[in-house]
Amino acid sequence: MQFSSRRKKFTTNSQTELYSHPLLFYVQPPLENISLMEFETFAVERLKLLKTIENLGVSYVKVSDQYIKKLEAESKALNFLYRPEADDRKPQSGPTEQEKRRKDHISHFILRLAYCQTEDLRRWFIQQEVDLFRYRFNALYPKQKLEFLHRNNLQYDTISVEEKKALHDKLVNSSYAVSGITVEDQDFYKVPFQDALDLVRSRKVYLKAGYVYIPHQEIVTIVLNDFRTRLSKALALTARSLPAVHSDERLQPLLNHLSHAYVGQDYSIQKNVGKISLEQIDSLSGKSFPLCMRQVHQSLRENHHLRHGGRMQYGLFLKGIGLSLEQALQFWRSEFIKGKVDADKFDKAYAYSVRHMFGKEGKRTDYTPYSCMKVILSNAPSQGDHHGCPFRHSDPELLKQKLQVYKVSPSGIIQILELVKGMHYQLACQKYFELTHNVEEASFSLNHPNQYFIESQKVLGGGRDIKRETDAPQKPQENSTKAPIAAPEAAANTQDVAEMTEELDSFFQDA
């Protein structure tokens, strides 16, 4: 793998020079060759780190000790930088500081490629990267901070000694953590107030005639603004080069997979095949289905039909929770024939696609239930559709009404809507889980509708709700005669999943 497009421009900087400081501003793209395996491992691990950052940002104050400790622990576990060490002595185990810096550099640029594709992806990526950058900048020693500013030409204007003297009292009274003694000893930066809105909002700085006077220790705010602006522009530029990247058949599926990535269990492996009876689905949908599946189930029951997006999302989810092929055929047939589709039409137009979903037609591949990222980020529902994620795709007022119907308390609804407003859709869903299952803090980080179901079953009695179907004769199950298809290796999986999903989509199109 080669990051070669701007190679000529940057050949003057050697890798050693580039990684001589613990913090990068990600100005230069990586120039070396790396293997596809490394490409994917680095990207997935950074994604895990960014997801942790998102979760922590909602649960803790971003500069609090707890936040820093947890982020430090996760960074350490994933072999990312977590302490700005000054030297590069070979540790007893694990990668050196240089190796961690290299991984940080490369993984950032890979995720740029994956997360520049849509406005939603860009916004999410920038937010998490900014939080990561804040944590790392704050962890630098003062000398390293200055060094970082100089290396990156971040030379903000400081005020003169005379101006400092003239404003002495105002600076002391208005600046957070500045005393009369320290004013003389430190630099104050004069920047347009719109570049330091956080500081203005929290009344931490002196504001005069459209400018704020920022003491040196608060400089992180303007560095972050700069970082955010540059990253936003860089993502827009990267998006323009996407057609070239997409023409690379090795990269395109990897990047698509990463942008919809969910880094957890593979729910295509069915552990409970046949352990759910069709009669249980209504009750399970109220107790253990996440909102996305609950709403799609309700609409299927009401309209006796679901359009393509709904059938894909819900069909794979049901398969993931344990419906066998025979049950799935029976389920869809019995519901559709209550509407405008007769049995004959169902068998001709829909049965094939259900069998296909179970790997019994076409390429005979097993299909993976959709992760939250996939539901949230791809194929947004339009008029008449019922799929999607209600936390992402429903109007807030409509979501509020739904939550009221589902008996979520008014204070719970406020908390959920706050999370939705901050675009933390999975965390909003997790809050919904906590409120509807009466648990104070969920012990998992939600990534997948099938994970929601399993966790719900655990809380509601260790899966006791799922019983073997006894009232209907069990037909032999095609799946049960074979071992379930093992989770493929991640690298191979990406391409397969992209191809499979595309192929399956075409089978599910409405005639």
Burial environment of residue 464 by CB neighbours within 10 A (0 to 12, 13 to 18, 19 or more): exposed
**How far apart, in whole angstroms, are the C-alpha atoms of residue 299 and residue 301?**
5
Residue 137 or 425 with smaller CB distance to ligand SF4:
425
425 is a contact residue toward ligand SF4 (CB under 6 A): yes
403 is a contact residue toward ligand SF4 (CB under 6 A): no
372 is a contact residue toward ligand SF4 (CB under 6 A): yes
Residue 121 or 376 with smaller CB distance to ligand SF4:
376
Nearest approach in angstroms of CB 321 to ligand SF4 is 13
DSSP 361: S
391 is a contact residue toward ligand SF4 (CB under 6 A): yes
Residue 239 or 376 with smaller CB distance to ligand SF4:
376
Residue 102 or 424 with smaller CB distance to ligand SF4:
424
User: For the chain, how far is it from start to end, CA to CA, in angstroms?
Assistant: 42
The helix (H) or strand (E) run that includes residue 274 is: none
Q: 129-140 in b/e burial notation, b at 16+ Cβ within 10 A?
A: bbbbbbbbbebb
Query: What does the DSSP assignment read for 63-96?
Result: TSHHHHHHHHHHHHHTT---S--S--PPPSSS--
Q: How far is CA 87 from the centre of its chain?
A: 33
Residue 324 or 371 with smaller CB distance to ligand SF4:
371
Q: Which stretch binds ligand SF4 (CB under 6 A): 68-76, 107-115, 169-177, 421-429?
A: 421-429
> Which tokens hold the place of 51?
């997801």
Q: Are 291 and 429 contacting, i.e. CB atoms less than 8 angstroms apart?
A: yes
What is the spatial order of strands in the sheet that 206-208 belongs to? Answer: 188-192, 211-215, 206-208
Q: Which positions from 268 through 307 interact with ligand SF4, judged by CB under 6 A?
A: 290-292
Residue 141 or 444 with smaller CB distance to ligand SF4:
444
Residue 426 or 501 with smaller CB distance to ligand SF4:
426
Q: Which stretch binds ligand SF4 (CB under 6 A): 93-101, 160-168, 221-229, 424-432?
A: 424-432
Residue 359 or 390 with smaller CB distance to ligand SF4:
390
> Which tokens hold the place of 103?
């991984």
Q: 255-294 in b/e burial notation, b at 16+ Cβ within 10 A?
A: bbbbbbbbebebbbebebbbbbbbebbeebbebbbbbbbb
Annotated ligand binding at 389? The verdict is yes
Residue 477: CA count within 13 A, CB half-sphere: 22
456 is a contact residue toward ligand SF4 (CB under 6 A): no
Nearest approach in angstroms of CB 52 to ligand SF4 is 17
Q: Which stretch binds ligand SF4 (CB under 6 A): 15-23, 243-251, 388-396, 459-467?
A: 388-396
Q: Are 307 and 339 contacting, i.e. CB atoms less than 8 angstroms apart?
A: no
Q: Which of 43, 121, 296, 429 binds ligand SF4 (CB under 6 A)?
A: 429
Burial environment of residue 151 by CB neighbours within 10 A (0 to 12, 13 to 18, 19 or more): middle
Nearest approach in angstroms of CB 451 to ligand SF4 is 8
| Contact code string over 329-368 relative to ligand SF4, x by CB under 6 A | ----------------------------------------
Query: What letter represents residue 412's amino acid?
Result: G
Nearest approach in angstroms of CB 292 to ligand SF4 is 3
Annotated ligand binding at 116? The verdict is no
Q: Which stretch binds ligand SF4 (CB under 6 A): 115-123, 161-169, 326-334, 385-393?
A: 385-393
Nearest approach in angstroms of CB 280 to ligand SF4 is 20
Query: What letter represents residue 356's amino acid?
Result: H
Nearest approach in angstroms of CB 449 to ligand SF4 is 4
389 is a contact residue toward ligand SF4 (CB under 6 A): yes
Residue 447 or 493 with smaller CB distance to ligand SF4:
447
Query: What does the DSSP assignment read for 399-443?
Result: HHHHHHHTT--HHHHHHHHHHHHTT-HHHHHHHHHHHHHT-SS-S
**Phi, psi of 241, deg, nearest 5:** -90, 5
Q: Please tell me the count of residues contacting ligand SF4 according to CB under 6 A.
A: 14
Q: Are 298 and 290 contacting, i.e. CB atoms less than 8 angstroms apart?
A: no
Question: Tokens 């009466």 belong to which residue?
Answer: 438
Residue 246 or 458 with smaller CB distance to ligand SF4:
458
Query: What does the DSSP assignment read for 280-323?
Result: HHHHHHHHTS-HHHHHHHHHHHHHS---HHHHHHHHHHHHHHT-
Q: Which of 449, 457, 479, 501 binds ligand SF4 (CB under 6 A)?
A: 449
Question: Tokens 């006791």 belong to which residue?
Answer: 464
Q: Which of 426, 436, 457, 494 binds ligand SF4 (CB under 6 A)?
A: 426
Q: Which of 126, 255, 375, 504 binds ligand SF4 (CB under 6 A)?
A: 375
Q: Which of 267, 350, 452, 508 binds ligand SF4 (CB under 6 A)?
A: 452
Instruction: Show binding-site residues.
Output: 292, 372, 389, 429
- Where is the binding site for [4Fe-4S] cluster, in residues? 292, 372, 389, 429
Contact positions toward ligand SF4, by CB under 6 A?
290-292, 372, 375-376, 389-391, 425-426, 429, 449, 452
